[in-house]
Amino acid sequence: HDAVAGVDHAGEEMMEWTLASASLAWALLGLFLGWFVYSKRTAIAESARRFAGGGPHKVLLNKYYVDELYEGALIKPGYALSDKVLFRVVDAGVIDGLLVNGSAILVSIVSALVRLFQNGMLRFYAWTFAAGAAAFIIYLTLAG
C-alpha cells in the first residue's frame, strides 16, 4: 500500500473536487443557456439553426436518430422473430399441432381401441369384469 511506502496522495482528493466542481459548473451553465436561448430569446436559436445549415439542428431534433436505430436493430427483428419462429413454429407447430391436435389424435386412437371391447353384450361385460376381478385377487394373494 501507499501508506506503507510513505507516499502522500493528499493533493489527488483536491483535484477530484476541482474537476467535479468544474464539470458541474459547465453542466449548469449549459442548462441555463439552453433555457435562456430556447425560452427567452427564440430568435437567437433560429439564427443559430440557420447559421449551422440545419444539419446539426436536424440531428438534435431527431434525438441522434436513436429511435430509428433502436427500431431497426431490435424492434423489427423482434417482430420478425416472433412471427417466423414463435408464431409459426412454436404456436402453430408445437402448441396447436402437437399438443392440441396431438391430444385429439390420441383420444381418437384410444377410443378406437376401447370401442373393440364395447359390443353391447351384457354377458361379455360381466365376464370381463369377473376375469379382471379374479386377476386382481390373484395378484393381491401372490404379492402379499
26 shares its domain with 66: no
pLDDT (mean) for 60-71: 91
Residue with the bigger pLDDT between 132 and 52: it is 132
Domain that residue 54 falls in: 1-61
The CATH number for 130's domain is 1.20.5
104 shares its domain with 67: yes
21 shares its domain with 84: no
117 shares its domain with 86: yes
Question: Where a domain ends, among 61, 95, 111?
Answer: 61
CA angle 6, 12, 14 (to 5 degrees): 130
Contact yes or no for 65/59 (Cβ under 8 A): yes
71 shares its domain with 124: yes
Least confident stretch, 11-20, 29-38, 46-55, 112-121: 46-55
67 shares its domain with 133: yes
32 shares its domain with 90: no
* pTM for this predicted structure: 0.41
Domains in the chain: how many in total?
Answer: 2
